Amino acid sequence: MNIILLGPPGAGKGTQAKRLEESRGMVQLSTGDMLRAEVQSESTLGKEAKAVMDAGKLVSDALVIGIIGNRIDQPDCKNGFILDGFPRTVAQAEALDGMLEEKGMTLDAVIEMKVDDAALTERITGRYTCGTCGQGYHDTFHKPAKAGICDKCGGTEFKRRADDNAETVTSRLEAYHAQTAPILPYYADRGMLKSVDGMADMDEVTRQIEKVLG
């Protein structure tokens, strides 16, 4: 099964994608994670993307379409994939359709995670992850049981994304409403769009997603 998790930054797409990886053996394809890895390795592509990402804007369609096109050819995608953060423009959605058709693959569901803008800034600016295992935490909503020690792996190094600050979040939300929200009708018109309540607690969101996937 191949699906898209759609929603604004901070909606919980990454969290839910990781849960689906564990429960269904699907693979999470996060263009944000892929781009951050390129930035980290200081590749040409990473250098090109960094300034755009730091400004909270979208990198070019051609760049992310190329990255995803290569990634879905990998053997692990045969068990099903979860697109997280892609597509983000109508041009990307169209390119994805073309790519899937060419590769003989199908898209089974597009799940929108609905969250109020007001909740997103607080969610994003407070979040951080364990530098060792990637477990997610939040300054207010989810602290480690012992301060400074990861509950999952015992790691003591934590990191925050460079773009998880108040100014950049405003630009990222603007980009979502102006450039990404128009893909909701694109999938609704094709009868593929399902919505879940992204304001509910994490376990309830997981239940709603599992119900949609059946």
Phi, psi (deg, nearest 5) at residue 106: -125, 160
Angle between helices 61-71 and 44-54 (to 10 degrees): 120
Decide if 57 is catalytic: no
Contacts 24+ apart (CB under 8 A), 203-212: 205/12, 205/16, 205/113, 206/16, 206/19, 209/16, 209/20, 209/111, 210/23, 212/109, 212/111
CA distances from 45 to 39, 50, 108, 161 (A): 8, 9, 31, 18
Identify the residue among 27, 59, 113, 209 touching ligand AMP (CB under 6 A).
59
Output 127 or 172, the one with its CB closest to ligand AMP. 172
Identify the residue among 3, 5, 86, 176 touching ligand AMP (CB under 6 A).
86
> Looking at beta carbons, which residue is closest to ligand AMP?
32
Asked if 85 is part of the footprint of ligand AMP (rule: CB under 6 A), the reply reads yes
Return the range that interacts with ligand AMP (CB under 6 A); candidates 53-61, 96-104, 105-113, 145-153.
53-61
Output 84 or 206, the one with its CB closest to ligand AMP. 84
Residues of 77-88 as b/e, b for ≥16 C-beta within 10 angstroms? beebbbbbbbbb
Identify the residue among 19, 71, 127, 172 touching ligand AMP (CB under 6 A).
172
Decide if 19 is catalytic: no
Which residue of the set 13, 36, 50, 71 is catalytic? 13
Q: How far is the CB of 145 from ligand AMP (least distance, A)?
A: 27
Decide if 24 is catalytic: no
Asked if 53 is part of the footprint of ligand AMP (rule: CB under 6 A), the reply reads yes
